[in-house]
Amino acid sequence: MAENILIVDDEPEVRALLRTGLEAEGFVVAEAGNGAEAEAQLAAHPISLLTLDLKLGGEDGLKLARDLRTRRNTPIIMITGKGDAIDRVVGLELGADDYIAKPFLMREVVARVRAVLRRYQKVEAQVMSPDAAVADGMRYVFDGWSMDTLRREVRNPEGVICDLTTGEFNLLATLIQRPGRVLSRDELMDLLKGHDWTPMDRSIDGLVARLRKKIEPESERPQLIKTVRGVGYVFAGAVKRL
């Protein structure tokens, strides 16, 4: 099945160039000239990856990247004419998976798109392994929620089973078994049986974002799974082992 790529750039010529090159490689391509159009495309289509310009006709591409990352697990490659090294670092810290400066070679763009997609697909496959979480046969309670690692069930405070994917369950189990301990991305990837990742890989961030939406009252103001800026994540809720 062809991957869907969203090009977010305020220059029609750049969008046309990227569309031609990516479609020639078998990708399905959508375009957006600003943040609002990007949001509309993301809501209307299953986007596999988006390329994002740092400047969108006066808009802040970094802010858009940060906002998208808090709500979606969509890979982001920044393509921009701004060559300042600081912008590259900030872009990566705010959630971009890779960074390409204009002018670019289409061959390089395609290679980087494929590389980022492979990393995400690999992470999704790895966290689907039931062995990724320690099935210790214990039950845990936290903030009114309960988790049974043997039955692999999580129930909300009303006793209703929460519909978690295998990857989300494994991540939650990994975190609540280590409450109060700050876990870096590499530690989480290792604990979830992850391999062949890079410091730019933001796949784990997307998994955290999806889990937050299901267990946090306000996913944008998390109280249970908190971000430790520049380090990783920590489970801040009080956990009791039964």
Q: What is the pLDDT of residue 89?
A: 61
Q: What is the pLDDT of residue 53?
A: 86
Give the whole-angstrom CA distance, residue 232 versus residue 189. Answer: 11
The pLDDT of residue 147 is above 50:
yes
Positive or negative torsion for Cα 161, 165, 166, 171:
negative
This prediction's pTM: 0.55
Farthest CA pair distance, the chain: 61
What digits encode the pLDDT tens for the residues 9-46? 989 999 999 999 999 999 999 999 988 899 899 889 88
The pairing of beta strand 76-80 with beta strand 59-60? unpaired
pLDDT band, residue 122 (cuts 50/70/90) = low
Question: For all residues of the chain together, what is the average pLDDT?
Answer: 81
- Here the tokens at position 242 are 């039964």
The pLDDT of residue 241 is above 80:
yes
pLDDT band, residue 162 (cuts 50/70/90) = very high
166-179 average pLDDT score: 88
DSSP conformation letters of the chain: -PPEEEEE-S-HHHHHHHHHHHHHTT-EEEEESSHHHHHHHHHHS--SEEEE-SEETTEEHHHHHHHHHHH----EEEEES---HHHHHHHHHTT-SEEEESS--HHHHHHHHHHHHHHHHHHHHHHT-GGGS-----EEEETTEEEETTTTEEE-TTSPBP---HHHHHHHHHHHTSTT--EEHHHHHHHTT--S--TT--HHHHHHHHHHHHH-SSTTS-SSEEEETTTEEEE-S-EEE-
- Structural domains in the chain, CATH included, are 4-127 (3.40.50.2300), 133-241 (1.10.10.10)
- Here the tokens at position 212 are 């937050």
Give the whole-angstrom CA distance, residue 152 versus residue 166. Answer: 9
Cα separation of the two ends of the chain = 45
The pLDDT of residue 146 is above 80:
yes
What digits encode the pLDDT tens for the residues 181-210? 888 887 787 777 654 444 445 678 888 988
